[in-house]
Structure 1
């Protein structure tokens, strides 16, 4: 895969996203263009399932760059995220040196702590030069990691470098394209945010979500897509749910109902498949049955009125 030139304008960025099937808005295209031009990390915040991670994947595909993903979790440390030494190979090197009588301590230390014994983890991999150009480094769900790891990232984000005590400082020839995502389960420190451009990724409006479903589930019936999107939009605005469904759940539900050969929302089928859309039993109980039927009737009345007004 050969790399593609970076977009030169907001319209180019919109076209780049659109070409990979990502239905984004102009605000996202603007901040994405600025992040590329200014070589600044992009900090994406929003609810789970709104498409934050997908932005990094689409950018990698569209630009022909490698995607290096660091999935964050509690207890993530430098040895997993940045680098570690190949201790087994180092021990073999030490044993060989002892067997051959080459036991000069300084020479041995330089040898076993050389780059051939260095295991590069995602962050360090992202700082390495590539013929395709700077890779896309996705630091996914940073809010799941500990604050100590946040503090370490400051050097990487500010100076595009990592300091390894035994080797010194490794600096990127070209800064990686850094995308950081968080589901806002906890606040990220201001010191890290200041080094990034910020964008809130919200749930899409009905028109944009319908276009997303059309592109991602092309086999779905048009009526089903329209009613399904209206149903999800109503859930997000009218229902007091513990966890609102994201776009990912909308697509899963559209795919499931299409596999079941549904061409429109059926109240019984909706109740039977709510586990695809909603992930908490209390939310499913709130919507299942009479409430689902009531919502579908309301959606169809609204569609009929809209059709009459159009005529």
Structure 2
């Protein structure tokens, strides 16, 4: 499938049309990944929008989003394929010579996300989410897929994608990924947005919130992230907070209402206490 965008600026504009406001650097990295058929590795803190760009790209490109959520202990039976044991058993029972029945063929494979994406090729966006949660062995297993867009199944042989899917990998950097995997990808660190871009995001994602309140929320969240919390709020929490303030009829953000509604923004008791103690820094008297 041909690369549909002539420049990073066009891609950034088109992403905005589906509700994702990318900065110039992320638009460039994504543009290159599409043009070079290379996987895109996105690292950053929780809540900065790494997963959302894969969803936005799938919508923008008209492709299926195939998501593999990684976790500790994930293996090929959850990620690549498994055998349809019920069909295999029926085939063996129905065969005149059970010993000769070949039930380890492609007909008996159950496709999991990685195999689904390879078979779909450029009709899919493959999101490998939170790869840092998986172990080293699973990361090593991905190398063939990311190098050649192919995998080898011992009983079946090598399966090659008819055309490369767009692959987006995300990591919250709870552990370092290996250099062998990094070398196969284009890379971008996704930061929290500054106050102005967060305001723009709020205007797109929470259009019901008045402009003045959205700007106050964006500024307050920006200052909160500078307090050194254990878990800084992400963009999703910022949107939730703005929506909550609007729901209770707030027109102007005050220290009292900010402290009272922190449950929509801060999801850790120690962080809530710290923000409450420093609420005069979060919501200056001019807000």
Shorter-chain TM band: over 0.9
Q: Which 4+ residue blocks in structure 1 deviate beyond 3 angstroms?
A: none
Q: Does structure 2 retain, via aligned residues, the 8 Å contact 1:42–1:198?
A: yes
Is residue 256 of structure 2 the alignment partner of residue 271 of structure 1? no
TM-score, length basis structure 2:
0.96
Specify every segment of 5 or more residues in structure 2 that has no aligned partner in the other structure, as ranges: none
CA displacement 1:4-61 (0-9 Å, x = unmatched): 9621211221122111111111111111111011100000000000000000000000
Residue 185 (structure 1) aligns with: 174
Q: 1:118 to 1:292 in 2, by over 3 A?
A: same
Q: Hey, what's the Cα distance between the residues in 2 that align with 1:279 and 1:103?
A: 57
1:274-308 per-position Cα deviation (integer Å, ceiling 9, x unaligned): 121111111111122x63245323453xxxxxxxx
Equivalences for residues 92-241 of structure 1 within 5 A: 92-97=90-95, 101-103=96-98, 105=100, 108-109=101-102, 112-129=103-120, 133-237=122-226, 239-241=227-229
Asked if structure 1 preserves the Cα contact closer than 8 Å seen for 2:3 and 2:35, the reply is no
Deviations 1:84-128 (A, max 9, x none): 11112101111111xxx33462xx12xx11222110000000011
> Which residue in 1 is equivalent to 2:27?
29
TM-score normalised to structure 1 length: 0.89
Check whether the contact 1:57–1:67 (CA below 8 A) recurs between aligned residues: yes
CA RMSD of aligned residues (A): 1.6
Unaligned runs of 5+ in 1: 301-311
What does residue 280 of structure 1 align with? 268
Q: Distance in 2 between matches of 1:189 and 1:4?
A: 31
Does the CA contact (< 8 Å) of 2:224 and 2:282 recur in 1? no
Aligned residue-pair number: 287
Structure 1 position 240, deviation (Å): 2.5
> Could you say which structure has the larger radius of gyration?
1
Contact 1:4 1:63 in 2 (8 A): no
Which has the larger helix fraction?
Answer: 1
Whole-Å separation in 2 of the counterparts to 1:29 and 1:93:
51
Establish whether residue 253 from structure 1 lines up as the match of residue 241 from structure 2: yes
